[in-house]
Amino acid sequence: MLGDRFEVVVVGGGHAGVEAAWAAAGVLGAPRSVALVTMNPGVIGAMSCNPAIGGLAKGQLVREIDAMGGLMGLAADASSINSKVLSESKGPAVHGPRAQCDKFAYARAVQGLLNARPEICIIAGGVESIRVEQGRVYAVEVRASGTSTLRQLSCQSVVLTTGTFMRGLMHTGDDRTPGGRHGEAPAGPIASALVSLGFELGRLKTGTPPRLRRASIRWDDLEPQWGDDPARPFSELSGRRDAALAASSAAPSLDRFPVLAQADCRQTRTCAAAHEVIRANLHRAPMFTGQIESIGPRYCPSIEDKVVRFADRTEHGVFLEPESHESDWIYCNGISTSLPRDVQDVIVRSMPGCSDAEIVRYGYAVEYDMVRPHQIFATGETRRLPGLFLAGQINGTSGYEEAAAQGLVAGLNAARHARGLDGVTIGRDEAYIGVLMDDLVTKTPLEPYRMFTSRAEHRLLLRADNAPDRLTARAGALGLLGCTGLGEARRRALSERTGEIDALNRLVDAARVDGEPLAKVIRRTEFSLGHFRQALPGASASRGAWLTVYAARRYEPLLRKQQADIRRNAASEHRPLPSDADYARWDSLRAEARAALDKFRPATFGQAGRLEGITPADLTLLSVLVERHRRSGAAG
């Protein structure tokens, strides 16, 4: 058996895997310290479903990933063909930057960035088993793609990011095909390996819509949807070509990415006649016949699910979105389906502009295995097996952005574990990333988890615009920025941004509008960002700095209140619970509370308070019992 030694092995080349490898490389910094194992290196960074990044709450995640040194924002900016900030008419707290991307350019950008890192070694193959000794991971066995050759990769940490490939099964009508996405085989052995290690697995579903040939659509008959001009980038580095960046080993990859021509999307809709056809064929729909037993995403439902759940609706909006400048495929955003092909033909051709549309790939659903996330810590590390980390859809989430955020956290902590350092968590009051990780370890997902702004109780603080101010310095302290020119460019960008914000704030404090302090006028409902810029005609700053100062001053009283709430609750939020507590034997707690504590094993009182079945009275009693437990342990 061939063998190699790495510090961290990342399994999977999707959005979680590439961020995990990138983050671990930044922390470790040594050549060939990270192995990225994937069945087909040519599809690393592939956009399996909609080639779009960001959106409501998801855009905040991407901005945070970028602020912490990740690559998703850079790749999205390098491949954007239609960028728009969603909910821009509402307050800055819910602005959601989104980019329709060229899926081929996006994958090239990701691969180019990874290939520029000497720390990362890409290995083609599938993981057959995880090797464990004395209760710790020490290696994985990889079968080289297309061969019977086994290769052992020795390591201190493993990050599993299996996406939809773990025992993946695709459904279109009665047709069932093993695979994690169209044309790619499932990953079977890894599921058996996890079960043998004692992990509890679950089963979830996701889906994708049909793709159409653009030339077969009456494109000009439909309402155009253009992006913003100028577009608001995800990354603080996009557009920067300073000396620090030019000196970076990754700079050639960035300089190769031209700004792509912008494309228009079009809007159409389903109709009542098509809904009747769907209802008449529900007996052929896998999710209604029992062929698919797992649960799909409630907030991104299939068209057959929409027709059943919203029976009074006679139409549903559908966005026709180009997948690339290099192909004529159009993604039908809004009609994800696993209905038979003949029914999909009727649905598509009943939509305005699509009466002669050619379907180049039919929609399908994918069922796949996941690991129930009460078995991980908020660091991404599994409770059962030190050194094994999970990220992405394997934890029950849905979406590129949620996967990438988990990958960053898992990669960071896998690298720290390999160096003998303690794990790092991100708080709910620090980032949407923290909200995501906390939700995963305190709730049992019955459907794929998706991030929403409503999940973040501190969303006024956690805006897309201020992500660098919140996270970049911390990322630098954790080593995530690495020692490359890219890291230095991020530090420089933050320093310049901080200077601009400070200068704007001084001007705000001194300025008056119609005799009143600008700091007070800015809070008026009708006072827009445009009015703010007009009030300071001589000021010069980046668009991002203007938006952050405007939002911070506009929300100032509410922000002070949220910060006071965070300080008041900090002691309880971060107060640790004993890792060795035998909650099942603490009979004075209610049975429901004992069961929840025993299952989720919360790390802090804050996490315990967010568990289903835990009441304030339970927390009060738990505090007494924990103190008693500690005294008895100290006495022993």
Residue 289: Cβ within 10 Å count? 13
Ranges of beta strands (E only) in 391-544 are: 512-513, 516-517
Please give the distance of CA 467 from its chain centroid, rounded to a whole number.
Answer: 15
* Whether residue 115 sits in one domain with residue 202: yes
Cα 601 → chain centroid: 24
What is the rounded distance in angstroms from the CA atom of residue 87 to the CA atom of residue 171? Answer: 35
How many CB atoms are closer than 10 A to CB 631? 10
Q: Do residue 45 and residue 139 come from a single domain?
A: yes
Token pair of 216, please? 């077969």
Q: What angle do CA 509, 510, 512 make, to 5 degrees?
A: 100
Count other C-beta atoms under 10 Å from residue 345's C-beta: 17
Q: Please say which residue of 362, 377, 407 terminates a domain.
A: 362
CA distance 539 to 602: 49
Domain end marker among 448, 476, 497: 448
Residues in Cβ contact with 429 at an 8 Å cutoff, skipping those fewer than 6 apart: 458, 461, 462, 566
From the list 349, 280, 350, 345, the residue with the least C-alpha distance to 315 is: 350
CATH number of the domain within which 340 lies: 2.40.30.260
User: For residue 486, is it within any domain?
Assistant: no
Q: The tokens of 307 are what?
A: 């027709």
Same domain, 138 and 115: yes
pLDDT for residue 296: 60
Residue ranges, the chain, pLDDT below 70:
1-3, 240-257, 293-299, 483-484, 634-636
Count of domains in the chain?
3
Measure the CA–CA gap between 113 and 69, rounded to whole angstroms: 12
Alpha-carbon span 178 to 15, nearest angstrom? 22
Instruction: Let me know if residue 248 belongs to a domain.
Output: no
Spatial distance between the Cα atoms of 115 and 21, rounded to a whole number of angstroms:
11
Domain boundary among 448, 466, 501: 448
Nearest residue to 43 via CA among 143, 171, 172, 181: 181
623 domain residue, yes or no:
yes
**Residue 545 located in a structural domain:** no
Instruction: Note the maximum CA span of the chain.
Output: 80
Helix (H, G, I), strand (E, B) or coil at 268: strand
| Shared-domain flag, residues 134 and 25 | yes
Residue 595 belongs to a domain with what CATH number?
A: 1.10.150.570
* Helix boundaries (H) for 363-484: 400-418, 432-442, 467-478
Q: What is the pLDDT of residue 298?
A: 61
Please report where in the chains the tokens 């001053």 appear, as a residue.
553
pLDDT, tens digit, for every residue of 254-275?
555 677 899 999 999 999 999 9
Please check whether residue 101 is in contact with residue 53, taking contact to mean a CB–CB distance below 8 angstroms. yes
- Those residues whose C-beta lies under 8 Å from the C-beta of residue 465, and which sit 6 or more positions away, are 63, 92, 95, 544, 547, 548, 551
- Cα separation of 22 and 482, whole Å? 10
Phi and psi, residue 249, nearest 5°? -65, -25
Given this model, what pLDDT does residue 570 score?
87
400 occurs within a structural domain = yes
- Whether residues 333 and 268 share a domain: the answer is yes
Closest CA to 428 of 324, 628, 589, 574: 574
Residues 405 and 343 reside in one and the same domain: no
- Strands of the sheet containing 80-86, edge to edge, are 52-54, 96-101, 80-86
443 and 583 share one domain: no
Do 10 and 39 fall within a single domain? yes
326, 378: one domain = no
Task: State pTM to two decimals.
Answer: 0.93
Same domain, 10 and 159: yes
Residues 442 and 581 both lie in one domain: no
Residues 154 and 179 in one domain: yes
Q: Are 491 and 476 in contact (CB under 8 A)?
A: yes
SS3 101: strand
Q: Is 85 within a domain?
A: no
CA distance 141 to 576: 37
Domain that holds residue 611: 575-635
Residue from 132, 150, 106, 142 nearest 18 by CA? 106
Q: Is the dihedral of CA 207, 211, 217, 220 positive or negative?
A: positive
What pLDDT, on the 0 to 100 scale, is given for residue 245? Answer: 46
Secondary structure letter of residue 106 according to DSSP = H
Could you give the CA distance from residue 403 to residue 435 in angstroms, rounded to a whole number? 14
Report pLDDT for 295. Answer: 64
Q: How far is CA 549 from CA 68, 229, 300, 495, 552, in A?
A: 21, 22, 34, 16, 5
Which residues are CB-neighbours of 37 under 8 A, at least 6 positions away?
A: 9, 10, 11, 12, 123, 125, 126, 127, 140, 142, 153
Residue 410 within a domain: yes
Report if residue 325 sits inside a domain. yes
* Residue ranges with strand state E in 233-316: 265-269
